[in-house]
Amino acid sequence: MKRKLLRLSSILAAISFTAIFFGLAIYNTPDSTAVKATDFKAGRIVDDAVFYNSNTMTVSQIQSFMDNHLPACDMWGTGKMGYGYYIKGKAVNPNTTRAEYARRMREEVGDKRYHAPPYVCINKYYENPTTHVTNFDTKGVAKDGMLSAAQILYNAAKENNINPQVLLVMLKKESYAWGDNWPTKNEYNAVMGYACPDSAPCDTKYYGFYNQVNMAAWQLDYYKKNIYSYNYRPYTTNKIYYNPDYSCGSKSVYLENLATTSLYIYTPYVPNDAALKNYPGTSTCGSYGNRNFFMYFSEWFGTTLASFKTTTVANGYYRLLPSNDTSTSLQPVNNTKEDKVQFTTAKKTNTNFDIFEIKKKSNNNYTIVNVDSNKALDTPSGNAIYGKVLQQYTYNNLNPQEWKFYDSDDGTVSIASAISGNLVAGINSDKRLALFPYTKENSQKYTLEKATPSVSSTTSSTTIETNRTIADGKYNIASALTHSYLLDVKGGKSADGTPIQLYARNGLQPQVFDITYDNKVGYYKIKSALVDKYVSLRDNKADDRTVVELSSWKANCGQYWLISKKSNGNYNILSKCSANKALDVKGGKVELSNPAQLYKVNNLKPQEWSFEDAQKKSQIISNGTYSIASVLKSNFMVDVTSGSYIDGRNIQMYSRNNNNAQNFIINFNTAKKLYTIKTSVGNKYLSVEKTSTQNGANVHIWQWTGKCDQYWDIQKTTSGSYNIFNSCSYKPLDISGGKTANKTNVQIWQMNWLKPQEWKLERK
């Protein structure tokens, strides 16, 4: 194993940087090959319930694991060197022992790292945590006060609430000492890659196995407790680079939990497809730290994903008794009935203060409503984040007031947020109810004790059961993929069986739906504004990929819909036939005439919608004169070539010059709910040449014709810029090739969410 040390002898500090920030591509992989690197999920490498479970291994189990997974240790260097070694250019006799080779390297080459025996392997390693004397220093003997590597790993895991399996995987991932059967002492200096930044050598005060393991475990726990202090944030989309060379590109990753976020903070790169396909090897622009973590853990210990075993709770009245102190019960602070009041644990009472009505909703989630206050257990602001203290709030039928129950296998349950199933309600140090990563700790478990309210419950079943989330009315239903595409009755036809599709916004009646709530059933009916027919499931089936179509009223489950609001403000449209199936866009594609379908709930954008009042104007910018600037480059403007206003004059990009050729009058057509873009002089309109809908179709100016190529839909992006869609094709205005040179052509191109299609509108 010394070849590794020799190969990297001149860049020892860089080893540690590479390990912690980039990830070593190590070829002596663990046992199983059942898992594939291409199974890697960038946003969910490992679940919190796995990562923060410190109870997975005992000291003896850690020791046994290392004994079984490390080679026989040549502690005294009696093994032969074999062929391929040189000292000062001369081949070393293959029968030379390792100890002799180390002596010659010290004396003849001056490399002091090659010390005399013993060479202590990890599974044989002992260290005094106070003096940091190791059995390297005591001739291999474990003396009083020394702890084994297994004990050090176990203690660090327990003290910092980290899975010891995680520390073993990181030890393998970050170090060259793992797997070396005659390691030198220096190989333990940065064994976990801790305090080895990319901008400086490793900090020597953290050298050594004990320091490295304890500080790495502490760091991972610190990340969890301070997760919002770092660049990468959980429960949101993050830009993560593939490689320290940023020119290799990046990936947008939605980080699903704290553990995965912590891994990216520790090793801030995501493997590209080539790195995943070429495991355990390398690739151009590859990074391997997080890939290797996933693979090593999976091969050694099984899945990195937690098993969330949901359980059913019968509707009724209960006291919630914390498992770590069943003499107390959950109740609002000071027993108040006000909104936004926190919950605490107090001695059990004989009043309604600590009694909750638990009811199952049609979507299989639960509401938990305090009997005395008639307020629901609620996540403030609808943000399910680690450490957030929970409250009671007026029931509103929204996600922040929905919960699941996990079976803890010991007669107790955990209460999981419906917003993020990784987070459960636990008792914090202030005896308040707050959100924590699910790890099955006692502070996260509750006994549900049946209770009888001391007076008639004030909880209104009608209120609790209501599924009303939007007012009755006429709506456009816009896809969250892009608000420029709406649900649409194909071809504007009215026959039974006419498909419902996604289509570009056009202001016409096939994109208007009359939505009414049925109080008796508790679901919505969605009727086309064209005809007295309803959005329905074909053949009343709730299978994946079932076609959604128009049908005459039959009052079956395939014609009733639950409109459920999400914490991000969008909505899911769920079928009454199956609460786990949602209205979905086929293939998640934004393209004309893409069919709507039913598909199992997956929390992705193709199943999210917004409802726009079709009776109201949807104008998002006021009429007036504007210059249109690209976000690609400052002062890079849409421009009429040569400032000439004859029909067919080309539209190009040009540096700002404050001429009229860069000013345009934008007006909103209230009937069509689309815009026209007219030159500030010359009375000519931005048009697509030959009314083309093809990628690359040229944009020029032309006298008014009133055709679709002269109408534009302007939509605001999440960053505050704008997309400008032509109404014929709903392809956006685009800078050819994304170039920033003067006279670059302006065209239309299919939506790609890149900067050449984003614009700033500057009012004159």
- In terms of average pLDDT, the best of 156-170, 483-497, 741-755 is 156-170
In this prediction, residue 509 carries a pLDDT of 79
Give me the pLDDT at residue 616, please: 65
Residue 315: partners with Cβ closer than 8 Å, 6 or more residues away: 357, 358, 359, 360
Helices and strands (H, E) in the chain, number of each type? 12, 42
> Which is it for strands 473-479 and 578-585: parallel, antiparallel or unpaired?
unpaired
Distance CA 132, CA 55 (A): 27
Q: Can you give the pLDDT at residue 28?
A: 38
Domains and their CATH numbers in the chain: 2-75+118-227 (no CATH), 316-465 (2.80.10.50), 473-613 (2.80.10.50), 624-763 (2.80.10.50)
Is 176 a residue whose pLDDT tops 70? yes
Q: How far is CA 6 from the centre of its chain?
A: 41
* pLDDT single digits (tens) 130-146: 999 999 999 999 999 99
What H or E segment, with its residue span, contains residue 293?
helix 289-301
pLDDT category of residue 676 using cuts at 50, 70 and 90: very high
Quote the CA–CA distance of 380 and 273 in Å, as a whole number.
39
Q: Which of 527, 530, 529 is nearest to 494 (CA)?
A: 530
Chain CA centroid to CA 298, Å: 20
Residue 520: pLDDT above 80? Answer: no
Long-range contacts of 309-313 (CB under 8 A, 24+ apart): 309/406, 309/407, 309/409, 310/404, 310/405, 310/406, 310/407, 311/405, 311/406, 311/407, 311/413, 312/360, 312/405, 313/358, 313/360, 313/366, 313/405, 313/413, 313/448
277: alpha, beta or left, given left = phi > 0 and alpha = psi -120 to 50? alpha
pLDDT at 617: 56
Burial (CB < 10 A; 0-12, 13-18, 19+), residue 733, is buried
> What is the SS3 assignment for 761?
strand
Give the Cα separation of 276 and 281 in Å (integer): 9
Cα 254 to Cα 256: distance, rounded to the nearest angstrom: 6
Q: pLDDT tens for residues 281-328?
A: 999 999 999 999 999 999 999 999 987 889 999 999 999 999 988 899
DSSP state of 267: S
Tell me the average pLDDT across 664-680. 92
Q: Using an 8 Å Cβ cutoff, are 21 and 291 in contact?
A: no
Query: CA–CA distance from 644 to each of 163, 649, 659 (Å)?
Result: 70, 7, 12
DSSP 602-660: ---GGG-EEEEETTS----S-SEEEEEEESSSTTEEEEEGGG--STTPBEEEEE----G
Question: How confident is the prediction for the chain on average, in pLDDT?
Answer: 88
Q: What pLDDT score was predicted for residue 457?
A: 40
Listed in sequence order, the residues at least 6 apart from 277 whose beta carbon sits closer than 8 Å to its beta carbon are 37, 38, 283
More confident residue, 30 or 484: 484
| Chain segment 23-82, per-residue pLDDT in tens | 443 333 444 447 899 999 999 999 998 999 999 999 999 999 999 999 999 999 999 999
For the chain, state the CA radius of gyration: 32
Q: How many CA atoms lie within 13 A of 309 on its CB side?
A: 9
Half-sphere exposure of 57 (CA within 13 A, CB side): 28
Write down the residue that tokens 């959604």 correspond to. Answer: 548
C-alpha span between 207 and 187 (Å, rounded): 10
φ and ψ of 19, to 5 deg: -65, -50
Nearest CA among 305, 318, 554 for reference residue 413: 318
Q: What distance in Å separates the CA atoms of residue 567 and residue 399, rounded to the nearest whole number?
A: 6
Instruction: Give yes or no for residue 14 having a pLDDT over 70.
Output: no
Structure tokens at 600: 């199992």
Q: What per-residue confidence (pLDDT) applies to 284? A: 96
* Mean pLDDT across 232-242: 93
- The pLDDT-based confidence of 591 (bands split at 50, 70, 90) is confident
The span from the CA of 488 to the CA of 548, in Å, is 11
- pLDDT, tens digit, for every residue of 601-631? 888 889 999 998 886 656 889 999 999 999 9
Residue 477 gets which letter from DSSP? E
From CA 175, how far away is CA 115, in angstroms rounded? 19
- In angstroms, the first-to-last Cα distance of the chain is 70
> Is residue 49 a contact partner of residue 439, using CB atoms and an 8 Å limit?
yes
List, in order, residues 6 or more apart from 394 with CB less than 8 Å away.
339, 375, 376
What is the pLDDT, as a whole number, of residue 30? 42
pLDDT tens-place string over residues 359-404: 999 889 999 999 988 899 999 887 788 889 999 998 888 888 999 9
Is there a contact between 363 and 564 (Cβ–Cβ < 8 Å)?
Answer: yes
Say if residue 472's pLDDT is above 50.
yes
Question: What is the mean pLDDT of the segment spanning 485-504?
Answer: 91
What is the pTM (predicted TM-score) of this model? 0.54
DSSP structure class, residue 697: -
How long is the chain? 764
Residues 6+ apart with CB under 8 A from 648: 689, 700, 701, 702
DSSP 14-60: HHHHIIIII----S---S--SS-GGG--TT-SS-HHHHT-TTS--HH
pLDDT value of position 409? 79
CB 723 within 8 A of CB 621: no
Both structure tokens of 570: 């969008």
